[in-house]
Structure 1
Amino acid sequence: MLTFAAAVFLLIVTPGPGVLSTAGVGAAYGFRPGLSYVTGLFIGTNLVLAAVITGLAAVVLSVPAIRWVLMAASVAYLLYLAARIAFAGARIAFIEAKSSPGIGAGVLLQTINPKAYAVNTALITGFGYAPGNLVFETVTKVIIMNAIWIPIHLAWLWAGVTLHRLNLAERTQRAINMAMAAAMLGVVALALLSAFGG
């Protein structure tokens, strides 16, 4: 069980679309909007977890066309979120992002996020510690995963909000927003490399 908990921590804490966008939303918009977004991520990640546990994800993702559609939707949505974070509060050309991504945005990101499916599948199907009692193992895995997921995402939100609360000069805040967006674009690039076997 401790090995499983360590694996959960390492897989969730590493920068992916969820934690990077959480920090970005916190840095760009503050705590309340960030908490709303994290709530959406939480709902979304548990929907993905339910899909993995029931086998629905395996059935759906066994169709290559659906995997490509999810990848394309995920990349497009991450690009959109990166733009929202990069241009938060700025009037640059036609882009103005005054309102923050909310609960719906978090749910959407997780349900089309390939990392969410990969991580949940690896954790649910691997790291067996109660082979004689699959129900116990599955229920405790869900509890452990959520018990680790919540503080990690709140910590990333806190890091972003801390940057937001420093009341930095507009130019510095914009640079931070751009850096957060660039990190998300890096995740997009890694996802595309992985999809094309690079």
Structure 2
Amino acid sequence: MTLSLIASMSLFALAASLSPGPVNLLSLSSSARYGAKTGLIFVTGATLGFIVLFLLIGFGLHYVIVQLSWITQVLQWSGIAFLLYLSYQLFTDNGELHSEKYHKAPSFMTGAIMQWLNPKAWLASLSGIAAYIPNADATEVMIFACLYLPICWLSLGIWVWIGKILGQYFQSPAKMRLLNKTLAIFLAGSCVLILV
């Protein structure tokens, strides 16, 4: 595995984990309402739930590819197309946040289960594996998961920190648009690294 592939995987993990989504917004909301400790418990559950999902998809995809070896190119280009689509969606997002009210503090299990119900988590797993390791080699799936684990936890932790310290900062659509555009550029850049 080359250093450029590891860097590309890391950029993808950062953009996918840090970009706004249901889990990110709940991380922000829970820490703003219940404190950083509750937010970090939720984030730990969400991170571990995502890694289990990622590994199962990675290993399942490996068996499909062994049976249908021609599918690797299709998966890789489909993954790149999805990443570029996601980049476009982030770049053109209007930055409006619509937060929901939660009646009780989200738990570790809430975080883990939420990832299994989160389309963003499924798409990030499928597109990441298809784009970066289209042959779904077990060692490379494990390396990607090991890169993803701390990046995901720290990225979600940033949303906890924002919720606790700067709760109203990202309520500004202009500031959210700037973050989205920055993440979109990183994500599109990771596509270039795939092809190098």
TM-score category (smaller protein): 0.5 to 0.7
Percentage identity across paired residues of the two chains: 23
* TM-score of the aligned structures, taking structure 2 as reference length: 0.59
| Contact 2:18–2:24 (8 Å) recurs in 1 | yes
Is residue 19 of structure 2 the alignment partner of residue 14 of structure 1? Answer: yes
Residue of structure 1 equivalent to 2:108 = 103
Runs of 4+ in 1 over 4 A off after TM superposition: none
Structure 1 residues 55 and 128: CA distance shift in structure 2, 3 A: closer
- Residues 53 and 128 of structure 1, relative CA distance in 2, 3 Å threshold: closer
1:99-122, CA deviations, whole angstroms, 9 ceiling, x for partnerless residues? 311112111211111110100111
* Distance apart, 1:55 and its partner CA: 1.9
**Deviations 1:62-103, CA, capped at 9 Å, x for gaps:** xxxxxxxxxxxxxxxxxxx9231xxxxxxxxxxxx3x31111
Q: Is the 8 A contact 1:38 1:106 kept in 2?
A: yes
What letter matches 2:32 in structure 1? A
Q: Does 1:112 align with 2:137?
A: no
Q: Which amino acid aligns with 2:37?
A: R
Between Structure 1 and Structure 2, how many residues are aligned?
Answer: 131
Asked if 1 retains the 8 angstrom alpha-carbon contact of 2:55 and 2:141, the reply is: no
Question: What is the correspondence of 1:2-151 to structure 2 with a 5 Å cutoff?
Answer: 2-55=7-60, 82-84=100-102, 97=103, 99-128=104-133, 134-151=137-154
RMSD value over aligned CA atoms?
2.9
Q: Are the counterparts in 2 of residues 47 and 111 from structure 1 also a CA contact under 8 Å?
A: no
Larger Rg, first or second structure (1 or 2): 1
- 1:150 partner letter: W
Q: CA deviation at 1:48?
A: 1.3
Query: Is the 2:31–2:164 contact (alpha carbons within 8 Å) kept by the matching residues of 1?
Result: yes
Question: Unaligned stretches of 5+ in structure 2?
Answer: 1-5, 65-98, 177-196
The secondary structure found in structure 1 opposite 2:101 is: helix
- Report the counterpart of residue 69 of structure 2 in structure 1: none
Alignment TM-score, normalising by the size of structure 1: 0.58
